[in-house]
Amino acid sequence: MSAMDSSRRHLLRVSGLAGLIVAGSAVTTGTAHAAPTTSGPGVLHADTVDDLRALNTKTLSDGTQLLLAGYHRAGDGGAMALRWNKNSTAPHNGGTVITPTGKNPGNNDKTPTKGRWHQLHTGTLDFRTFGHFDTTHPADTALDAMIDDPTVHRIEAHTDLHFQKRHLWNRSNIELDFGGHHITTTGIEKNTHDNPFGAVLSFRGTVTTTTTVTYALPGKVIELTDNFPVPDAKAFTVGQWWAVQVAPVEGGGGDERELQKLVEITEIIDATHVRVGYLNGWELAAGRTLTWTRVEPVRDTHVRNMLFEGAGDDEYTGSHPVSYEYAVGCDVSGIHATGTFWPVIMRRWCTRFRTEECSLKNPPTVMYGGAGYLTQQIYCLYGRVADCTTSNVRHLNDLTASAYCTVVNCHGDGDDEGGNPFTTHGQYEHDLLFDGNSGLMDIANSGAQWGISAKRITVRRHVCSWFTANTKITDLTLEDVTVIARPTFDQAGTLTVNADGAQVRGCTAKTFAVAQRSARSTRPTVISDCSFEPPAEAVLVQTPVTAPVHFVRCTFTGLDGAVLRGAGPVHFTDCTLTGADGAAPLSVGSADLRIDGGTYTDTGIELSAARDQRITVTGGARLTGTNKAGALLGRTAGSGTVIWDLSAVSSTTSGAGTAHVRIQDGTNHYAATGCRFTGGTLHLLPAALDSALHTSCVEQGTRRTAMPANGGTARTDGNLTL
């Protein structure tokens, strides 16, 4: 084997380009300045692009192939295989299309109008084959050339890069992998007003302007159906994608719509019904208008692995890496951004996507609406956000009008300025799962413009210093949520939920409150196996609450004048309530309070009598100690009538002046059977009792400071006095 043959074979082997050379081609050897063969297609080699462009192409046969050892120098990573197309007039882009310069005798020093070198590739391209090895020169032209080439399915970066353009494509089936390298955008062109989709890499499906179907629903569309009425099913085809939305809620906010999704037609059911790939989350009444718009979405276009440095500190000069609109199956992973203005990953009208292992720190603002996010999803379906982190941002994740999405193992810190890592707008989100995350959480709380509604939101194993879900949130489920007060943000350590089917299990917080803004659920609001330590005079059940609230095996410590203000029924089962030293009793405005078992120490209960009330204490409930009011069970002088029903209660106090029961105001109906009172007093003022039954009780060391005599409306005998 000659030395020249050995050199050529080594070039083929180390460049990895040998497979691109057409099998069976006549092979010649030579340098970039050697006269190529004229007998047919051949293979040349050259060291650099400058050498290639200076090559005399006049005598080259169409289809001649060439191996390039590097871009600026041999072995610099810009190696490629090329093929001569003598009739090509494609524009020169320095990578996939290279035009001879004419700087050689054969071309008479004139750039040829025809004839181009076209890069041979397997569908994977590299910025180095366009001459980009650092951030010195913008790589926008190269990026456009690769994206616009339909034969390219993967773009790779192996060096840092600089971009100055905001690109918008409708390209599908391509992956951009920046290899974890640094991406800069200093000096990027200005964005337009309020445009979070003006990303460096922006992908947008094609929305038709003529294919639109508008239809007033002839009947109710039930919740959780994928069957929708249409005027003529012939307008639809299985496999098509449509953006469907309902008209705004009458009398609601301008963006208050129960349905806004990108859906696929999965079946033509009959002449006036189609099935879509989505089970709707909200019932739609007859007469509501649906608008269907045909879309050709971007599909399977992915962006991965970059260190992105934002530029600019406002909506015009700020930069961010990625946005998708009308997209299906488009994933993002491994983007780590600093200083971006708009969301790092912005999505609207998207479905079936993943955002994984991304991060953001220190955006220029956390106060400007829509800015300073890691990722936002608007009108999105079937998304997964996982293993992401943020520091000092407005939101890690925002789900607006979205459904069937999951957020897993994501963590936000540096949220003292009030940015909530986890949020939803309240634009009728439904069926969302948050699992194993940390950081402030605020659900459906962006204002009336969006409707402040959400349904079936589940949060598990979450840690934060503030959690509020007190708007129109139906069937909220919280499991193992821990809210720890932080002196630099919310010293109260607040957890608030809406009493509309809320299920709160195994949670811990300092301040807990139940609010009510809606009444849509068929399931009860139950708080079980939780621990709270509310501050003095904390309102546990707020005024608007009319729904039943059930506390089961919960622990409240440090109580001092806590309030159950709402009129709705409240039920405590096997709970433990402990008051602070000298604490005021629990103030209860509930129309129906039931205490079943449990222990109540140094707290006691005082009914507000602001309305007619009923209190039931049973199941072996144990009341002990004392409180500021000097009564474990009592009432104020309010105008309401109170019914007292005590059975199997054990009440013990060491304070001689503390009453087990004190009734001295208003109108009351009292019954106590089978109870045990130890120490203290019983004060049942006859004038305050319309009826009284006090029998089969044990009174040990207890003084009766007031008690009605036996008569037609009172019976107080049959007790055991020790």
Task: State mean pLDDT over 113-119.
Answer: 94
CA 543 to chain CA mean position, Å: 30
Neighbours of 268 (CB within 10 A): 15
Give yes or no for residue 59 having a pLDDT over 90. Answer: no
Task: State mean pLDDT over 476-504.
Answer: 95
Could you list the beta-strand ranges (E) of 300-446.
Answer: 301-309, 322-328, 332-338, 345-356, 359-361, 373-378, 381-386, 389-391, 395-400, 403-408, 411-413, 422-424, 427-435, 441-442
230-244, 410-424, 704-718: least confidently modelled range: 410-424
Tokens standing for residue 567: 């009129």
Mean pLDDT over all residues of the chain?
A: 92
Neighbours of 37 (CB within 10 A): 19
pLDDT band at 17 (very low <50, low <70, confident <90, very high): low
pLDDT of residue 30: 35
**Gap between the Cα atoms of 141 and 154, Å rounded:** 17
Torsion region of 326: left, alpha or beta (phi above 0 gives left; psi -120 to 50 gives alpha) = left
Neighbours of 68 (CB within 10 A): 27
Give yes or no for residue 485 having a pLDDT over 50. Answer: yes
Q: CA-CA distances (angstroms) from residue 161 to 100, 146, 331?
A: 26, 15, 21
pLDDT of residue 416: 81
Task: State mean pLDDT over 414-441.
Answer: 92
Q: Are strands 80-85 and 65-68 parallel, antiparallel or unpaired?
A: antiparallel
pLDDT band at 402 (very low <50, low <70, confident <90, very high): very high
pLDDT of residue 419: 79
For the stretch 666-678, pLDDT in tens is 999 999 999 999 9
For the stretch 197-213, pLDDT in tens is 999 999 999 999 889 99
**Gap between the Cα atoms of 509 and 533, Å rounded:** 7
**Gap between the Cα atoms of 591 and 12, Å rounded:** 87
Task: State mean pLDDT over 573-595.
Answer: 97
For the stretch 515-542, pLDDT in tens is 999 999 999 999 999 999 999 999 999 9
pLDDT of residue 11: 42
**Gap between the Cα atoms of 468 and 312, Å rounded:** 33
Q: Is 435 exposed, middle or buried (0-12, 13-18, 19+ CB in 10 A)?
A: middle
DSSP letters for 117-140: EEEE-SSEEEGGGGT--SSSS--H
For the stretch 285-316, pLDDT in tens is 999 999 999 999 999 999 999 999 999 999 99
- The H or E element containing residue 8 is helix 3-15
Give yes or no for residue 578 having a pLDDT over 80. Answer: yes
pLDDT of residue 661: 98
Task: State mean pLDDT over 449-463.
Answer: 96
Burial 393-424 (b: 16+ CB within 10 A, else e): bbbbbbbbbbbbbbbbbbbbeebeeebbbbbb
**Gap between the Cα atoms of 647 and 631, Å rounded:** 18
**Gap between the Cα atoms of 170 and 180, Å rounded:** 25
pLDDT band at 6 (very low <50, low <70, confident <90, very high): very low
Percentage of residues in the chain with pLDDT exceeding 90?
87
For the stretch 586-642, pLDDT in tens is 999 999 999 999 999 999 999 999 999 999 999 999 999 999 999 999 999 999 999
Residues across the chain: 722
**Gap between the Cα atoms of 69 and 308, Å rounded:** 31
pLDDT of residue 489: 86
**Gap between the Cα atoms of 558 and 324, Å rounded:** 50
pLDDT of residue 2: 40
Task: State mean pLDDT over 236-247.
Answer: 98
Beta carbons within 8 Å of 369's beta carbon, 6+ residues apart: none
Alpha-carbon Rg for the chain in angstroms:
37
pLDDT band at 418 (very low <50, low <70, confident <90, very high): low
pLDDT of residue 415: 86
Whether the CB-CB separation of 513 and 537 falls below 8 Å is answered with: no
Give yes or no for residue 81 having a pLDDT over 60. Answer: yes
